[in-house]
Structure 1
Amino acid sequence: MPDELGFDELLDDGGLIARLLGKTAAGRRRELLYGTDLPVVLLVGGPGMGKGRLLRCIRTSFGPRVPTAYVDCALTDSRVLAEERPGSRSEVTEVLRKVALQYGDWGGDGGGIAVPRLYAGLAAVAASDPLARAAPLVDEVARLDGILPPGSFWRGVLKGTAKNYVGYLTGLVTSPLAGPFLNALLDGLFARVSTEGRAALAACYGEYPGAGGHPQAGLRALGEDFQQGGEARRLAEGFLFRALRQDIDAAYHGVRGRMSRVGRPALLLDHADGSLGRRLVKAALEDRERGHHDRLVVFATARREDGGRFLHRAGSSHDGMATWQPFTGTLPEWSRPPGGVPDHAPLWRGVLLVRMPVLTRDRQKDEISRLRGGHGQPDNAVRLRIHSGVHRLSGGRPRFVTRLGEATAAVAIAFPTPEECTDWAILDARVRAGEDEQGRPVADRPVADVLVDELVVQQRPEELPPEHRGHWLDLLTHLSVAHDVECAQTLMRAVQEGRTEQLNAYRIAELLEDTGWPGCPRHFIGDLGLRRLLTRRLYGLRAGGAAWHADHALLQGHYRDLGDRHPDALFVTAAAHRMHHLLASDGADLVTRYLADSFRTRPVDEWCEELLAIADAALIGVDDDRYARALGETQVRGDTLRRQVDRLLHAVWLTEDRTQPLEEIVPGVLRGPLRELSEELAKVADEAVRDQGPEGADVARAADGAALLIRMARDWGDRAEDKQPLKRCVCTEHIGFG
């Protein structure tokens, strides 16, 4: 996909990125957005929303214009390097070294950024290992030389001091040297540093907790805290990040900095909702809350819609968090809310939450057309079906749109007629899945399998216990047929039977939320596209859809055991919930009989609610005869009422399941049986008036029901004409009007 897809308002010359950085992608100046107190910009959105792609765009387009560093916090390289010398390194110190190298190598206006404050702090940490001996300590300090520009005064000070001290001690002692080595290192540094350099270190490390304004004491305390581990180490690591930001600020001060540097530098933290990213973001937010402002624009990505649980203190509201979504026509306003108490204020006060944009219908069509490129164009009806199917499945999620567009672009011939262009056919279309480790093309795969890998397997929740990582996808696959947590927990007990360690549905729901998937009150898997992917996978787990049928049979048994009249929050009764799973797995005949029987005895409003809930069932693995049944073209055994109910059930099922675009006849097909049922109730009311008088209970029920069905015929028909689902649902509300 083109990296800029959907990001126009973010990346253009007057957009958010240019105004934050003070330069356009072409290098022209822009008035800076906000003052000296800057927010951390959190780019939030679930899997496939383009967060990492936006960071790549910033790095590619704006990186040549302002100093820019990028870190993928999900990679393990920094952790591996830290584990080689755990007494002298940590994952955070390795990341800060990596960032410093990128700023030092920057070749734009003003040149690379020197980081002497960070250098001194990292050297103090490197020299503080109480178990290391002379040569390893020297090597650790020398390893830091690369983060300062060649020829820098700072670059040789610590290394020279270390070498001299080691030469003095050679052969004299064999005990660990951390204490005297660190002291000698600092003594040598402050003996040789200039007045200006000493002032810079004093302004930074003199503020370290317990330093009392003495930078040498601060650096010693920093090393000791690092060795202590736990919260003390986190304090030291956060202070090192502050030292880096002070180095960056210093590069913009003085005559040379003011003349050669324009705008603000950027730090891009991808996958920042993991433990490493949270430590960095939290340190910056806490510093800025305490008044330690800097000019570094931190862009970080997070999957949760609220940015992550670490931002919010228990019991505190985050209603005041600044949130912005592109395509609103204005840039976001932000200022720190008044009244915060440092160390007690919630971190969200320093955040600007930017919700990643979904692709509009027009942008989706443009992307599909672009991907088709030189491929032959399908006929207009098939093309419209493809566009509609991609929109239904993707909900505008960019990764979905592009992958489905790639698959359908090359296989239009697989959809010879519009009727064959269903969601399942689109998901079965094959797409090139990339290259293997040797760079060889991988065999084409169904696009559904590729999306499952990219959106689920490769983006497991951080807090998912290791013993569940191998079957996380299988758990979600079975949950594709679940609705509320009770329904989901019934499945989880059966699926995990015999396992010592089990995940309950409540924990799985929390893990899905942490991964950035939206919730839906009516479906446990709250994203329609993800639910379709998992439904398809469930049907294919065992031959003939055996796993699919088994899960539905399990839930039928559960709700049968509860008793038909047992209340159900989503389906009115347990019987209706059971009928839903019966419809999905075993067809409509028994469901039609149930609905026809209950129509004679139930209040019509409850009956309509049950009908809508029952008919929200996926149809997969069998021929789709719903249009024929809705039109009354199939023989149905039973009386007139049962035939009317059967037609209505199948018309509602078509509208609610929506695995294919609705035909123009559906609104009329919906209205017909509803009006006929209304007439039946009107006749019942007339007969009851003759038998009971106008005040009889049967009269009131029948008359009210007849009026309600007339309204339903109008309302449901209008919704179907607008291509909207009949019952409002979070995961299908994007479908309407298309």
Structure 2
Amino acid sequence: MSDDLGFGKLLDDDGLVARLLGKTCKGRNRPLLYGPDLPVVFLTGGPGMGKGRLLRCVRDEFGRHVPAAHLDCAAPVHAERAAQHPSTRSEVTEALRELAVQFGAWSGDGGAIGVPRLYAGLVAVAAGDPLAGQAAGLDEVRRHDDLLPKGSFWGGVLHRAFRSYLAALAALFAAQPLATPLITAILDELFERVSSEGKATLEDCYGAYSGAAGHPRLGLHALSVDFQQGGEGRANAESFLFRALREDVEAAYTSVRGRMARAGRPAVLLDHADNALGRRLLRPVLLDRESGHHDRVVVIATARRADGGRFLYRSTDADAGVVTSWSPGDGGLPVWQRRQGGVPGLVAPARGALLVGMPTLTTEQQNNEVARLQGHGGHSGAAGHGARSGTSGAAGHGQGHPGPAGHQPGEHASRLRVESGIHRLSGGRPRFVTRLGEGAASLRAPDPAAFTDWDLLDAPVRSRAEPEGRPVPVADLLLDDLVTRQLPEELPPEQHDHWLDLLSHLSVAHTGACAQHLMQARQEGRDERLSAYRITELLADSGWPQCPRHFIGDRGLRHLLMRRLYRLRPDGAAWQEDHELLRAHFAARADTGDSGADEPCGTAGAHAAHHHLAAGGVEAAVDHLTGAFPLRDPSRSMARWCEELLAVAGAPCAAPLSGAPDDRHARALGEAPPAGGDWLRRRVDRLLHAVWLYEDRTRPVDQALTGTWRPLLDRLGEEPVPGTEVLTRTAGEWAQLAQERQPLKPCACTRHLG
């Protein structure tokens, strides 16, 4: 199957999709899952998780065996077409037309699916504009001709051929101006020519419309009037039109021919379904099924938020938190059943949803994808192990030994180095893996000892949209894919051009308060501003994860933004100013005696030292830790000092971005001791650089560095200071974490490291 990276458990013969549709991708029948009451399936995951790619796989592979209509709710074409005639069109009607056209083009078992119910509703809406001229109104009605089966109307239920029906309409309008409203004439002509079977069909559908009392003509007229009213009335009409489409599809399966020729279930696939158009399509389905109006259409939609989106929940409903969530990694198939009880119309729509978390790629899948993009084919187990452990090629394989046939010595070590970088940056996010793999394919066996993750982000690639264009750094392409092209729906239009800049500045922030101070400074003088707290909400709505210790809660995205921040102005001026701004802010808090108990860095002073270190103030950071050591400051506990050390050492380093020499390794090993200072300062300096380089994690772990921790901590513990036993315990804990390549201060966005 094409483009199915990471979807094996969803698309295989016993996977969720096959059991929902009753068909495998090869066309074999499978037992149906659920029914007749079906959930709406939401594929949840942030940008780059492959939701849209999965829907395309379902359409292309399973869509050869069951009718599958695919719609991108974010495509501008629906709004553009609706704007051409806003009184009789909306984004919803244009989307329903698109779905109907795709069902009408189905050429598999059972043939095309006609949509006479939807046709009747759309015709009523098209004829309902009281201000439209006769010719314009007829053009709107005739626009829907393509929604009917070829050759006859309703498969022969009209007494006359469809062409005769259209000819009668044309003659009616050509003779003289109408004395009655267009919609009345259209409905009169329709019901004049429809058979008793057709009338019964319309009665079952539009006779159930609000206020119709079983009379389909009244129902269609009321639907048209509601659509003209706009607001809630139009929303009700649109909801009913989608029900009419689903009833058309249902009828194609329950007819005599359908029962004989059709198998499995049809599908409606809605990409970007958590935006306004998607919500207007999905909410009626959820409410219909909650009220017992069931159909066999499998609705699969995408949503960026892990909870599917706020529109699924009611804040006052006790059942709002009850929703079925499942991930392929959970094993088996999701068990779903609609929960009973509650007041009809007041229960949370989420009761009818099944949330399917999109899977991240395993390390083996990541390595295989990188190998494929580099033209190496599959991977051996040794390669996968090397990337997982984060070791360099030299550590796992002797340098200078000949590699496999066709490979130069050292090429395998370079490959492992690239794979480990992709693993750290991507966190298994498929779009990250593929883009970084494309960038890695353009590199020529980089030196594994000198290559960093920042170098990987600089790898040149060509955009798929412009394959003949100039190569750009893969980091820029990823930001375009994941941020610029996926702006939050509620982001004010005046902020669209600033969004990427704001996020770039926020890449250095930690808590909301820290980010808010930064935003106030960076948006000073603007009339339209965004608070950091509002940006947090927008990022969550976009599907980006949150981390208590980092404002940008995805490590890969944070690195993309930090790289961009450094290059925003010459010589890293924006980077320098942001860190200096925060350093000054937290230093002032420390000077006023604000301990900063709520700080992610432990204290305001440590937070200031963190940013000072990132801005190049290495000596000031060492001074802070030396002065805070319990030997110099008895008010500090040893455990708290160790926490401050980790907080300060978590600072990003600008040296790899600037191309300046990075002396952290030499200082950590004592090969480049700092000038001046006593024995305590020299030991703290070495320990800080060793921990800083380890926590940086933009290159493989160097065991020589981790081996310095215990002797340095032991020597600090030689002094008669209370709590020195904490240093011994800490040394053991760090050694264990380093053995497993885990961060010394793990958080939500670094759990995949190791």
Q: Same fold (TM over 0.5)?
A: yes
AA aligned opposite 1:610: E
**Aligned equivalent of 2:356:** 354
**Mapping of residues 522-541 of structure 1, within 5 Å:** 522-541=549-568
How far apart in 2 are the matches of 1:142 and 1:542? 57
**Aligned equivalent of 1:388:** 420
Instruction: Give the match's secondary structure for 1:386.
Output: helix
**Aligned equivalent of 1:662:** 701
Instruction: Give the match's secondary structure for 1:285.
Output: helix
Asked whether the equivalents of residues 666 and 720 of structure 1 are also in contact (C-alpha less than 8 Å), the reply is no
The superposition leaves residues 695-729 of structure 1 with CA deviations (integer Å, 9 ceiling, x where unpaired) of xxxxxxx1xx1111111000011101111001120
Instruction: Give the match's secondary structure for 1:183.
Output: helix
Asked whether the equivalents of residues 2 and 57 of structure 2 are also in contact (C-alpha less than 8 Å), the reply is no
How far apart in 2 are the matches of 1:93 and 1:471? 34
**Aligned equivalent of 2:117:** 117
**Aligned equivalent of 2:734:** 716
1:566 aligns with 2:594: yes
How far apart in 2 are the matches of 1:315 and 1:631? 60
**Aligned equivalent of 1:641:** 680
**Aligned equivalent of 2:400:** none
Instruction: Give the match's secondary structure for 1:252.
Output: helix
TM-score by length of 1: 0.93
Deviation at 1:157, TM superposition (A): 7.3
How far apart in 2 are the matches of 1:340 and 1:157? 51
Asked whether the equivalents of residues 587 and 605 of structure 2 are also in contact (C-alpha less than 8 Å), the reply is yes
**Aligned equivalent of 1:675:** 714
**Mapping of residues 598-617 of structure 1, within 5 Å:** 598-599=628-629, 600=631, 601=633, 602-617=636-651
Deviation at 1:493, TM superposition (A): 1.0
**Aligned equivalent of 1:544:** 571
Asked whether the equivalents of residues 671 and 713 of structure 1 are also in contact (C-alpha less than 8 Å), the reply is yes
Q: 1:156 to 1:567 in 2, by over 3 A?
A: farther
How far apart in 2 are the matches of 1:294 and 1:158? 31
Asked whether the equivalents of residues 314 and 320 of structure 2 are also in contact (C-alpha less than 8 Å), the reply is no
Instruction: Give the match's secondary structure for 1:344.
Output: coil
1:582 aligns with 2:612: yes
**Mapping of residues 459-498 of structure 1, within 5 Å:** 459-498=486-525
Deviation at 1:592, TM superposition (A): 1.0
Asked whether the equivalents of residues 161 and 185 of structure 1 are also in contact (C-alpha less than 8 Å), the reply is no
Aligned match for 2:173, one of 163, 166, 178:
166
Aligned match for 2:743, one of 725, 728, 733:
725
How far apart in 2 are the matches of 1:199 and 1:479? 62
Asked whether the equivalents of residues 109 and 261 of structure 2 are also in contact (C-alpha less than 8 Å), the reply is yes
How far apart in 2 are the matches of 1:345 and 1:88? 32
The superposition leaves residues 457-511 of structure 1 with CA deviations (integer Å, 9 ceiling, x where unpaired) of 1111011101000111000000010001111111111111111111110111110
Asked whether the equivalents of residues 162 and 181 of structure 1 are also in contact (C-alpha less than 8 Å), the reply is no
Aligned match for 1:326, one of 303, 319, 328:
328
How far apart in 1 are the matches of 2:276 and 2:321? 25
How far apart in 2 are the matches of 1:161 and 1:68? 35
Instruction: Give the match's secondary structure for 1:71.
Output: strand
**Mapping of residues 266-415 of structure 1, within 5 Å:** 266-316=267-317, 318-373=320-375, 379-413=411-445, 415=446
How far apart in 1 are the matches of 2:119 and 2:339? 35
Aligned match for 1:631, one of 658, 662, 669:
669
Deviation at 1:214, TM superposition (A): 1.1
How far apart in 2 are the matches of 1:451 and 1:562? 37
Deviation at 1:314, TM superposition (A): 1.6
Instruction: Give the match's secondary structure for 1:556.
Output: helix
How far apart in 2 are the matches of 1:617 and 1:554? 15
Asked whether the equivalents of residues 165 and 181 of structure 1 are also in contact (C-alpha less than 8 Å), the reply is no
The superposition leaves residues 100-140 of structure 1 with CA deviations (integer Å, 9 ceiling, x where unpaired) of 11101100000000111101000100010111011111111
The superposition leaves residues 575-609 of structure 1 with CA deviations (integer Å, 9 ceiling, x where unpaired) of 11100000101242111111111112211111111
Instruction: Give the match's secondary structure for 1:513.
Output: helix
AA aligned opposite 2:457: L
AA aligned opposite 2:663: D
Deviation at 1:26, TM superposition (A): 0.8
How far apart in 2 are the matches of 1:430 and 1:280? 41
**Aligned equivalent of 2:652:** 618
Instruction: Give the match's secondary structure for 2:301.
Output: strand
Aligned match for 2:546, one of 512, 519, 529:
519
Asked whether the equivalents of residues 669 and 705 of structure 2 are also in contact (C-alpha less than 8 Å), the reply is no
* Structure 1 residue ranges without an equivalent (≥5): 685-701
What fraction of aligned residue pairs are identical, expressed as a percent?
57
How far apart in 2 are the matches of 1:242 and 1:512? 33
AA aligned opposite 1:94: E
**Aligned equivalent of 2:149:** 149
The superposition leaves residues 328-376 of structure 1 with CA deviations (integer Å, 9 ceiling, x where unpaired) of 3201111111113332111111111011110001111111111110696
The superposition leaves residues 279-316 of structure 1 with CA deviations (integer Å, 9 ceiling, x where unpaired) of 10111111111111000001111111111111111244
Instruction: Give the match's secondary structure for 1:418.
Output: coil
How far apart in 2 are the matches of 1:400 and 1:156? 54
Deviation at 1:561, TM superposition (A): 2.0
How far apart in 2 are the matches of 1:235 and 1:527? 40
How far apart in 1 are the matches of 2:165 and 2:76? 29
How far apart in 1 are the matches of 2:609 and 2:464? 43
How far apart in 1 are the matches of 2:166 and 2:242? 22
Instruction: Give the match's secondary structure for 1:665.
Output: helix
**Aligned equivalent of 2:43:** 43
Instruction: Give the match's secondary structure for 1:711.
Output: helix
How far apart in 2 are the matches of 1:297 and 1:158? 34
AA aligned opposite 1:102: Q
Instruction: Give the match's secondary structure for 2:294.
Output: coil
**Aligned equivalent of 2:223:** 222
**Aligned equivalent of 1:696:** none
Deviation at 1:254, TM superposition (A): 2.4
Instruction: Give the match's secondary structure for 1:441.
Output: coil
Asked whether the equivalents of residues 286 and 342 of structure 1 are also in contact (C-alpha less than 8 Å), the reply is no
How far apart in 2 are the matches of 1:421 and 1:262? 55
Asked whether the equivalents of residues 480 and 535 of structure 1 are also in contact (C-alpha less than 8 Å), the reply is yes
Instruction: Give the match's secondary structure for 1:452.
Output: helix
**Aligned equivalent of 1:697:** none
Asked whether the equivalents of residues 161 and 184 of structure 1 are also in contact (C-alpha less than 8 Å), the reply is no
The superposition leaves residues 507-527 of structure 1 with CA deviations (integer Å, 9 ceiling, x where unpaired) of 111101111110001000000
Instruction: Give the match's secondary structure for 2:235.
Output: helix
Instruction: Give the match's secondary structure for 2:71.
Output: strand
**Aligned equivalent of 1:451:** 478
**Mapping of residues 495-514 of structure 1, within 5 Å:** 495-514=522-541
How far apart in 2 are the matches of 1:360 and 1:518? 19
AA aligned opposite 2:372: R
How far apart in 2 are the matches of 1:164 and 1:243? 29
Deviation at 1:156, TM superposition (A): 4.6
**What is the number of residues matched between the two proteins?**
704
The superposition leaves residues 366-398 of structure 1 with CA deviations (integer Å, 9 ceiling, x where unpaired) of 111111106967523222211111000000000
How far apart in 1 are the matches of 2:140 and 2:407? 61
How far apart in 2 are the matches of 1:246 and 1:306? 29
**Aligned equivalent of 1:243:** 244
Instruction: Give the match's secondary structure for 1:305.
Output: coil
**Aligned equivalent of 2:389:** none
